[in-house]
């Protein structure tokens, strides 16, 4: 800390500032000479208006002198002659050491004379001139002293906590403003009750939980929940991010933790909210070459403050993270974080409630159904839904409408999911090829009963995609069956299958690159993770494939080379079988494929309802033609 203070002081006293200060001091020192000396013009004027000693005696004899003022200090006589104007300054005469003759002459001629002294006035003028350069110099020295003191105080305050403190948090968020995560709200409402009415729990022996860890994906409302707790509890509230503890200087993070809990104990009962705690709470010993680094010291201090020898009654810590797998086990044990509240993506009912909350301050047309929006947005988090309605409001303002309609909602969903809308393709071979590709996806997805229904097929580019096909599940799917996975693989391969059937193998394009990546990933998970292959119900790969430095530095294989070859064989077999089935379905319904492609090229977008209606009509027509071809038995 001392070295840091010296560096800050040296930085402020830069060479340019020192040179500037020296020049200013030198100029101030020269002021007395400038102001104290007699200017040349004034001296020449004084010589022109003065008399010699002899001329003064002669004029006295002639009776031309009216009054004389003798200044023995300066050896000057100020002479007033008769006939001078009243405002004419006196004539100065240089006196001798002994002026007896002049005094006798003045007495003889009855000339009024007297002695004056300019010593006091000169002393006052000299003091004033000296103060003119001494005072600015003292002010300059005080300025440098103040800056050096500020630098020193900043160095001493470097280890102070940066937590924002509010005696009564006014976040503007209540539990009514949080929707879609009712289970988490219920858990946290108990924390508020603990703070407001602790006797309800202590009377039966229950103790206040020391820590609550909010765990969930990004955008699910962890920070929003913390704001709601702060707004409801009406107790002192500290908020800080995990990254604000750790600095490059050793010991600063631990010092900030101590200072934070010291302030919290002074204001207990209170709440401390630590956002992104994984920045400071990562597992210890994960570094290479020792673990006595700054982050681990900060974590050790945090563990001690939460549940150490002294304890901290009346302080509840709420932390949020989306990486609970990397947190240290000592941080997660009971007594530190007593509760782990899962804040997951909302279900259908939760999305409906979230949309109601975010639509309060927006003008939405009466024809818009929030239930339909919720059904179309599976997997959306609270932040995604808020962004969706905001994008719809922006589109409404851009189109100069008075209220948000279903058109703006649909366009906003497409923008959030796929990106910004591009320029429509012109009629060409490329546009027709993309049309076959997208209709291939949608047609197979509609023909397979285990696949999700198609929502929309479009040739309007969005983001990096030249065409898009949306599928929307009918209901929330927590579990996925083997037949559903194979149906998804088959539909995903439908685009490549349509290209090959219509244009031939030499004309297939790179448009299926992303599809093949998804297909390979799903097939490999079926084999190695879900046990849905001939290898049996085996989990051949760990759930997490991320390398955690120091713990999983060498990501070793969990199976032999022989099993690896069998895995590759099974993945290839699943994909090839699904691809063959996709081509068979498209060849069987070639007439429907051509009809839908022509319609898509003409309209550029086909709604899911219309798409399914056309496919149903073709299936009925095919069934009638089949019945007509069957022989009649007698």
What are the catalytic residues?
438
515 belongs to an annotated ligand binding site = yes
Residue bearing tokens 């009243």: 86
Residue bearing tokens 């920070």: 223
Distance, CA of 520 to CA of 574 (rounded, Å) = 9
Instruction: Please work out, in degrees rounded to the nearest 5, the angle formed at the alpha carbon of residue 251 by the alpha carbons of 248 and 257.
Output: 105
219 belongs to an annotated ligand binding site = yes
Q: Which helix (H) or strand (E) holds 484?
A: helix 482-492
218 belongs to an annotated ligand binding site = yes
114 belongs to an annotated ligand binding site = no
CB half-sphere exposure, 492, CA atoms < 13 A: 20
253 belongs to an annotated ligand binding site = no
32 belongs to an annotated ligand binding site = no
What letter would DSSP give residue 448?
-
222 belongs to an annotated ligand binding site = yes
Instruction: Kindly provide the b/e burial profile for residues 481-511, where b requires at least 16 CB atoms within 10 angstroms of the residue's own CB.
Output: eeebbbbbbbbbbbbbbbbbbbeeeeebeeb
Who contacts 337 (Cβ-Cβ below 8 Å, separation ≥6)?
A: 210, 211, 212, 213, 317, 319, 331
Phi, psi of 91, rounded to the nearest 5 degrees: -90, 130
Phi, psi of 189, rounded to the nearest 5 degrees: -65, -30
Distance, CA of 595 to CA of 52 (rounded, Å) = 129
| Helix (H/G/I), strand (E/B), else coil: 485 | helix
216 belongs to an annotated ligand binding site = yes
E-state strands within 31-146: 65-71, 76-81, 91-94, 112-116
Pairing of strands 315-321, 339-342: unpaired
136 belongs to an annotated ligand binding site = no
| Helix (H/G/I), strand (E/B), else coil: 77 | strand
Give the tokens for residue 153: 């105080």
Distance, CA of 204 to CA of 202 (rounded, Å) = 5
* Residue 357 near residue 179 (C-beta atoms within 8 A): yes
Instruction: Kindly provide the b/e burial profile for residues 349-386, where b requires at least 16 CB atoms within 10 angstroms of the residue's own CB.
Output: ebbbbbbebbbeeeebeeebebeebbbbbbebbbebbb
Question: From the annotation, which residues make up the binding site for ATP?
Answer: 216-223
Residue numbering of the annotated binding site: 216-223, 437, 441, 515
- Give the annotated binding-site residues for Zn(2+): 437, 441, 515
């Amino acid at each position: 800390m001392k070295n840091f203070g010296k560096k800050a002081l040296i930085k402020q006293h830069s060479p340019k500032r020192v040179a500037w200060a020296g020049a200013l001091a030198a100029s101030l020192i020269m002021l007395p000479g400038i102001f104290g000396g007699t200017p040349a013009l004034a001296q020449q004027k004084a010589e022109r208006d003065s008399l010699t000693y002899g001329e003064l005696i002669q004029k006295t004899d002639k009776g031309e002198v009216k009054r004389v003022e003798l200044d023995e200090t300066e050896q000057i006589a100020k002479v007033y002659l008769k006939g001078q104007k009243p405002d004419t300054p006196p004539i100065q005469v240089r006196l001798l050491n002994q002026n007896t003759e002049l005094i006798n002459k003045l007495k003889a001629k009855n000339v009024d004379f007297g002695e004056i002294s300019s010593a006091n006035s000169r002393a006052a003028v000299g003091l004033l001139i000296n103060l003119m350069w001494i005072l600015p110099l003292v002010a300059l020295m005080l300025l440098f002293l103040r800056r050096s003191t500020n630098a020193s105080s900043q160095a001493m305050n470097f280890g102070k906590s940066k937590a924002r403190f509010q005696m009564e948090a006014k976040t503007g968020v209540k539990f009514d403003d949080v929707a879609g995560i009712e289970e988490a709200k219920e858990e946290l409402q108990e924390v508020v009750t603990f703070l407001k009415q602790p006797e309800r729990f202590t009377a039966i022996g229950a103790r206040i939980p020391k820590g609550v860890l909010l765990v969930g994906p990004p955008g699910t409302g962890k920070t929003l929940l913390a704001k709601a707790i702060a707004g409801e509890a009406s107790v002192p509230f500290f908020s800080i991010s995990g990254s604000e503890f750790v600095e490059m200087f050793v010991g600063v993070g631990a010092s900030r933790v101590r200072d934070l809990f010291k302030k919290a104990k002074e204001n207990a009962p209170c709440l401390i909210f630590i956002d992104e705690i994984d920045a400071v709470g990562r597992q210890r010993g994960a570094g290479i070459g020792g673990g006595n680094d700054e982050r681990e010291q900060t974590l050790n201090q945090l563990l001690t403050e939460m549940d150490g020898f002294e304890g901290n009654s009346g302080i509840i810590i709420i932390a949020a993270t989306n990486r609970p797998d990397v947190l240290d086990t000592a941080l997660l044990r009971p007594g530190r974080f007593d509760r782990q509240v899962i804040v997951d993506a909302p279900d259908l009912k939760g999305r409906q409630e979230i949309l109601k909350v975010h639509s309060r301050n927006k003008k939405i047309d009466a024809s818009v159904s929030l239930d339909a929006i919720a059904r179309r947005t599976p997997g959306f988090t609270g932040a995604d839904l808020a962004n969706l309605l905001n994008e719809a409001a922006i589109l409404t303002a851009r189109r100069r409408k008075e209220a948000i309609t279903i058109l703006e909602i649909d366009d906003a969903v497409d923008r959030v999911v796929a990106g910004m809308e591009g320029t429509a393709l012109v009629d060409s071979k490329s546009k027709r090829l993309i049309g076959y590709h997208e209709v291939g996806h949608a047609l197979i997805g509609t023909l397979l009963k285990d696949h999700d229904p198609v929502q929309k097929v479009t040739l309007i580019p969005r983001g990096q995609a030249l065409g898009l096909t949306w599928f929307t599940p009918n209901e929330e799917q927590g579990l996925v069956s083997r037949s559903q996975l194979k149906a998804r693989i088959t539909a995903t391969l439908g685009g490549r299958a349509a290209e090959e059937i219509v244009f031939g193998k030499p004309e297939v394009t790179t448009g299926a690159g992303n599809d093949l990546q998804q297909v390979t990933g799903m097939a490999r998970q079926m084999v190695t993770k879900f046990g849905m292959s001939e290898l049996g119900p085996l989990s051949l790969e760990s759930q997490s494939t991320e390398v955690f430095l120091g713990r999983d530095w060498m990501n070793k294989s969990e199976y032999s080379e022989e099993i690896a070859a069998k895995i590759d064989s099974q993945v290839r077999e699943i994909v090839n079988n699904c691809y063959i089935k996709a081509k068979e379905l498209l060849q069987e319904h070639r007439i429907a494929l051509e009809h839908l492609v022509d319609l898509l090229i003409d309209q550029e977008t086909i709604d899911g309802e219309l798409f399914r209606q056309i496919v149903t009509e073709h299936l009925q027509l095919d069934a009638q033609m089949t019945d007509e071809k069957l022989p009649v038995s007698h």
